[in-house]
Amino acid sequence: MPHRPVTPLLVLALSLGFVPTLDRGRLPFAAPVAAQQVSGAQSLAPYVPTPQDVVDRMLALAGVSGADVVYDLGCGDGRLVITAAKRYGARGVGVDIDPERIAESEANAKRAGVEKFVTFKLQDAMSVDVSPATVVTLYLLSSSNLKLRPLLTKQLRPGSRIVSHAFSMGDWQAEKVDTFQDANGSTRTLYLWRTDGKVRP
């Protein structure tokens, strides 16, 4: 789901019940949560698209191949699973609570010619069955990662990979940490975990 580390302005917006979004080339604006979300679902992070070069690096860190099924929880405009399908031939499933983002993702997949390889679900990430996934990607908040952690470690098969942009998973030590500068000169950090069959609370 697509996101950037939270600033004090974003924290304030979330506390007031707003989800900030970005329109390319324009300033952020806020829209009421109720207008954007699946009924009853809570946003795990504000929507901020992951830069394409960071998407590429996340998929490379996970070692994605045509044999993989990539789930992106909080898929935004779908760019991560679309890239996985187009570049590696992987199957992809994007999940988001915002119907506008799902519509955008489906349109982007069709434009990229990979609509047969990817599926998008309008669903709360906390209720998704991720057991078919071999790779799960995240761009959420630390608190959201901790909420998802027991679900991921319980459902994913041993050897499945989890890649998170910017945020860790508490005391679960990452197998690899990749810190680099993106195309715009911003410092980015990616975390990779490999599941081992242990359920982590």
pLDDT at 18: 39
Q: Are 46 and 13 in contact (CB under 8 A)?
A: yes
Q: Are 158 and 195 in contact (CB under 8 A)?
A: yes
Helices (H), the chain: 8-15, 33-36, 52-62, 79-88, 99-112, 142-155
pLDDT at 40: 55
pLDDT in tens, 26-54: 223 233 333 345 555 667 778 889 999 99
Domains recognised in the chain with CATH numbers: 52-194 (3.40.50.150)
pLDDT at 43: 73
- Global pTM reads 0.80
pLDDT at 7: 42
Average pLDDT, the chain: 85
pLDDT at 31: 33
β-sheet bridge partners, residue 21: 29
Q: Are 7 and 28 in contact (CB under 8 A)?
A: no
The upper half-sphere exposure of residue 199, i.e. CA atoms within 13 Å in the direction of its Cβ, equals: 5
Mean pLDDT of successive 10-residue segments in the chain (201 residues)? 43 38 31 43 81 98 98 97 98 97 98 98 97 98 96 98 97 98 97 96 93
Residues 6 or more apart in contact with residue 96 via CB below 8 angstroms: 1, 74, 75, 76, 102, 105, 120, 121, 122, 123
